Structures are given as structure tokens and as C-alpha cells.
Amino acid sequence: MSNETTPNNSDSNTCRVCAGRTLELVRPSTIRRPLSEVDFAITDPNYGTTAAIYRCRECGFLQCAQLSDVLQYYQTLKDEEYDSSGQHRLHQAEKLLQTIIRYKKSGKLLDVGAGTGYLMQRALAHGFETVGIEPSSWLCDKALVKGLNVLCGVLPDPSLNPPYDVVTLIDVIEHVSNPVEVLSHIAGVMSTDSVGVLVTPDVHSLAARLTGTRWWHYRVAHVGYFNHKTISLALDRAGLRPISFSRPAWYLSAAYLMSRLSVYLPSYLRLNPPAVLNRLTIGFNLFDSMLVVFQRKSTPLHTVAGK
Ligand SMILES: [Zn+2]
């Protein structure tokens, strides 16, 4: 455990995207107790709770500047609720694969932040050769039990065998305090023929602006908040170039969705969802996430990877 109110990094005054040195506080911390790995669970329901958020005056990037050493929480993370929602997360992974195969129909796929391997499972079913990398040893073990080729750790990893035809980074980049470095490592395992796919919340989306500080992506685990401009800049600084933006849908169980929406209701209206709703998959799109397809900047501009 550590106290997030104590700056523990000499770079806490530097923008993690553009390296600008002028950060302004836009939202004080709403964390009221020492942090632990529980706050970093994928299914954490405490929407609206974040460390202090600062905006870079130069590029507009929003970051939790004092939360810089978060990897430790992921290494010890356990999330039973995430693992029990497999059927719905496989459905979501399949939708992502349908986007990926528009660019690459086969080859080697690296999933960064692989979790328990749902995306790898669907990629294998489509004929890709897959490897995943995941910092949580608990999530890694779940993936290994499924027989998946997952490495427990973070990039760079010497046992990887680049280049990879497809590199995926799904709901990961908002969790790291060194986004340009992570994207640079990804650029390093791509060739000029490779394609990358990332998904991250869009802090400039209408849903984010309408729900304000109660937006469901404002949570402790999210230490960076991107929009179209700042994710493009982060990619650029890592030697990458976006080639397509879209709005991915989410697929969750009806029970999970109901319990999460209930946090927006007064307590007397909150009901426990019936068990039957666990088996029902609901797709919905609030148009508040970005799916970005990217390639290396050294790829000739006229080349659309894999087509
Ligand atoms: Zn900046």
C-alpha cells in the first residue's frame, strides 16, 4: 500500500504525453483511504473516484500526475467478478477480432494486457498464432490453465519473438503512467507491415461531458484520460500513426450492467439482479470509447496494412 497524496516521482510535473511542464489541477483527489490492489480491479464499481487529475496546458492531456507507481497493484490483482463474466467478454473479443481481420486475416498476434486471455481465445479460433503478456500473476495463471501462451510481466520481454503482425492493447493505455514508453515498446515489436489496435475511453465524448465527474470511466485505476488529439500525439511520439478511429460497443451480462447502472440510482431503488440475467449478454454503445487502428510511421502512407 502507498498513499497517493504523496508525490513519489520526480516526473510528476511533466505531461506524460507531450513532456510539457505546465500542469494545472482540474480535479482534487476523491480517494479517502490508502490504495490497495482492490481499487485496480477491472470490475471496480467506484465510478467517480480518482486521484487528483491535472491537465497539461500544452496538449490538454489529463493525468493523475501523483499516481506514478501503479504496476505493483496489477501484479497482485485478483478479480473473480471479471473471471466469472467469460461468455460476455468472449463476445466482446469476437467483435474486436472482426475489426482486426479487416486489416490482417492471419499471422502472429500479441495481446498486451491479456487478462485471462479472452481475446487470445478468439484470435486462436480465427487461426492466429497468439501470445499474451499480463502483469497480474493471478490473471496469468487463469490464462495458463486454459492452455494459452501468456507471459507474466510487462513489455519489453526478452522471450517475445517480434515482429508481430497484430498487436492489441485493449483498455490498457489509460492504466499506465508511461503511455508513450509503452507505445514505443509496441512500435518496437511491429514491422512496417504490422497493424496495432488499441481501445481506450474518450474523455472528450458526449457521455463523458454529460455525466461529468460521475462518468463511469473516472476510476482509480485510470491514471490517464485520452481524447482523439492526445492519443494521436502519444502514438506520434512513439513512432506510430493512427489510421482509423471508431466507437466500439461493450458486451456485458445483463446482471452486471444492472448492478453497475444502479450506482447512479438512489439507494432505495437499487435491486439485486436476478441470477437469470447472468446468462443474458447485452451489447450497448455509449460512444465514449475509441478504437484506434495504427501502424508504424515508417509504413508508407498509401499502405493499408494487410489489404
Ligand atoms: Zn501535454
Q: How far apart are CA 280 and CA 275, in angstroms?
A: 10
Q: How far apart are CA 86 and CA 92, in angstroms?
A: 10
Distance in Å, CA 58 to ligand 1 centroid: 5
CATH number of 23-249+285-296: 3.40.50.150
The residue ranges of every structural domain in the chain are: 23-249+285-296
Mean pLDDT of 120-148: 96
3-state helix, strand, coil in the chain (%, to 5): 30, 25, 45
72, 60, 5, 62: which is closest to 222 by C-alpha?
62
Distance in Å, CA 174 to ligand 1 centroid: 15
User: Residue 134 above 60 pLDDT?
Assistant: yes
Distance in Å, CA 234 to ligand 1 centroid: 9
Q: Where is average pLDDT lowest: 85-94, 142-151, 192-201?
A: 85-94
Distance in Å, CA 22 to ligand 1 centroid: 8
Distance in Å, CA 211 to ligand 1 centroid: 24
pLDDT attached to residue 67: 84
pLDDT digits (tens, 9 = 90+) for 151-199: 999 999 999 999 999 999 999 999 999 999 999 999 999 999 999 999 9
Distance in Å, CA 232 to ligand 1 centroid: 12
Distance in Å, CA 18 to ligand 1 centroid: 4
pLDDT digits (tens, 9 = 90+) for 252-287: 766 666 666 666 666 666 666 666 666 677 777 778
Triad 252, 257, 260: Cα angle to 5° = 130
Highest mean pLDDT among 40-54, 126-140, 261-275: 126-140
Contact 89, 60 (CB under 8 A): no
Distance in Å, CA 199 to ligand 1 centroid: 20
Evaluated on CA atoms 136, 139, 141, 144, the torsion sign reads negative
- Scored b (16 or more CB within 10 A) or e, 278-305 reads beebbeeebebbbbbbbbbeebeeeeeb
pLDDT attached to residue 184: 98
Confidence band for 249, pLDDT divided at 50, 70 and 90: confident
Mean pLDDT of 22-49: 81
Distance in Å, CA 131 to ligand 1 centroid: 33
Sequence-ordered alpha helix ranges (H) in the chain:
71-75, 80-83, 86-100, 118-125, 137-145, 179-188, 206-211, 228-237, 254-261
Distance in Å, CA 286 to ligand 1 centroid: 27
pLDDT digits (tens, 9 = 90+) for 218-248: 988 899 999 999 999 999 999 999 999 999 9
Q: How far apart are CA 85 and CA 67, in angstroms?
A: 29
Distance in Å, CA 56 to ligand 1 centroid: 5
pLDDT attached to residue 4: 37
Distance in Å, CA 42 to ligand 1 centroid: 27
Helix (H) or strand (E) holding 25: strand 23-27
Confidence band for 82, pLDDT divided at 50, 70 and 90: low
Confidence band for 36, pLDDT divided at 50, 70 and 90: confident
Kindly report the average pLDDT of the chain as a whole number: 86
Q: Which three cell numbers stand for residue 284?
A: 450497448
Distance in Å, CA 189 to ligand 1 centroid: 26
Distance in Å, CA 63 to ligand 1 centroid: 9
Confidence band for 124, pLDDT divided at 50, 70 and 90: very high
Sheet holding 53-56, edge to edge: 23-27, 53-56, 62-63, 224-225
Distance in Å, CA 59 to ligand 1 centroid: 4
Distance, C-alpha 34 to centroid of its chain: 23
**DSSP per-residue string spanning 282-299:** EEE--S-EEEEEEEETTS
Triad 58, 296, 244: Cα angle to 5° = 75
